[in-house]
Amino acid sequence: MFFELREYRTHAGQRENWVKFMEDEIIPFQVGKGMVILGSFVGQEEDDLYIWVRRFESEEERVKLYEAVYESDEWKNDIGPRIPAMMDRSKIVVRRIEASSRSVIQ
- Per-residue pLDDT of 8-27, as tens digits, reads 999 999 999 999 999 999 99
* Per-residue pLDDT at 106 exceeds 90: no
Q: What is the pLDDT of residue 70?
A: 98
Q: What is the pLDDT of residue 31?
A: 98
Q: What is the pLDDT of residue 68?
A: 98
3-class DSSP state of 87? strand
3-class DSSP state of 63? helix
Q: Which domains does the chain have, with CATH numbers?
A: 2-97 (3.30.70.100)
- Per-residue pLDDT of 35-60, as tens digits, reads 999 999 999 999 999 999 999 999 99
Mean pLDDT of the chain: 97
- DSSP class of 33: T
pTM for the predicted model, two decimal places: 0.93
Q: Nearest CA to 5 among 72, 99, 106, 93? A: 93
Q: What is the pLDDT of residue 105?
A: 87
